[in-house]
Amino acid sequence: MPDDSVGCPICYEFVNNDHLCFCDHLMGDAIFGSSSNNAQKESHAFCRECLKGYTKAALETKPFARGWLGLKCMAVKCQNPITWQQIKKADSSDELDETIKTLENHCAELSVASAGLYLERCPKCNCAVEMVADTDTDSDDSNEELKFHCPECNYEMCRKCNEKWGEEHNNLACEQFAKQQNREGYLKDNQLSEKVVNGFTKCPKCKSPVEKIDGCNHMTCTCKFEFWYCCGVKHNDDEHAPNCTESESD
């Protein structure tokens, strides 16, 4: 056993000092107070592999240290934090980096919530914004509390119904705004349908609208029915409707 190696209390393997990570007893003193029994007066050492496994498992177990400064020490009865800086030393892989970011984000949300604030995330750029009121429980929110504004991309939405914010919503409750949007959407769809149908010729057989972009008037519908676009008569050699003005051109 080399003189500069230390046994990991989790896996009992001996590792070199430069491959160890430690809990921070000084940070523990700052959190709990130097006279507290929660903070131990020494730092515990762990190998990087054990700390990596502990960090990945933390996505489920969430053993966060007090103050959200990292994870609780793995040693029994030790509440000192293993800081995020120490955890990042365990491995530089993208996988662990993403895990740490997820845990740090969760700690940030818990920290904000413990202060009586709430985090709202922008659906466009995922930026987290501190908000004062929780709209899930308040029924008489003011417009200012309902309105979410992202400082990164300037996207604005309603925090209750998640619809994009606009002047129409400014003086309407979410239920009224939804009804108005549904009505406007219905009218818009009907106008579009009417425009499409009026600009097309209907198939004489299945009544589906058929558009002629260019070429001759001989059309074949998706239902396989063939007809003259100009007069709607079934295609039969060169026979058009008697009053068709385009019969000679085809």
Q: Which portions of the chain are predicted below pLDDT 70? A: 1-3, 28-41, 116, 132-144, 181-199, 237-238, 241-243, 245-250
Pairing outcome for strands 201-202 and 147-149? unpaired
State the DSSP H helix or E strand holding residue 160, giving kind and residue range, or none if neither. Answer: none
CATH class in words for 1-114: alpha beta
Strands (E), the chain: 5-7, 14-16, 20-22, 45-47, 70-72, 81-83, 118-121, 128-131, 147-149, 156-158, 201-202, 209-210, 218-220, 226-228
C-beta of residue 15 within 8 angstroms of C-beta of residue 8: yes
Tell me the Ramachandran region of residue 36: left when phi exceeds 0, alpha when psi lies from -120 to 50, beta otherwise.
beta
Query: What is the domain partition of the chain in residue ranges?
Result: 1-114, 117-199, 201-250
Residue range 193-246, pLDDT digits in tens: 554 555 577 788 887 878 777 778 888 888 888 888 887 788 876 677 666 766
- Tally of residues, the chain: 250
Residue range 139-158, pLDDT digits in tens: 455 566 788 888 889 999 88
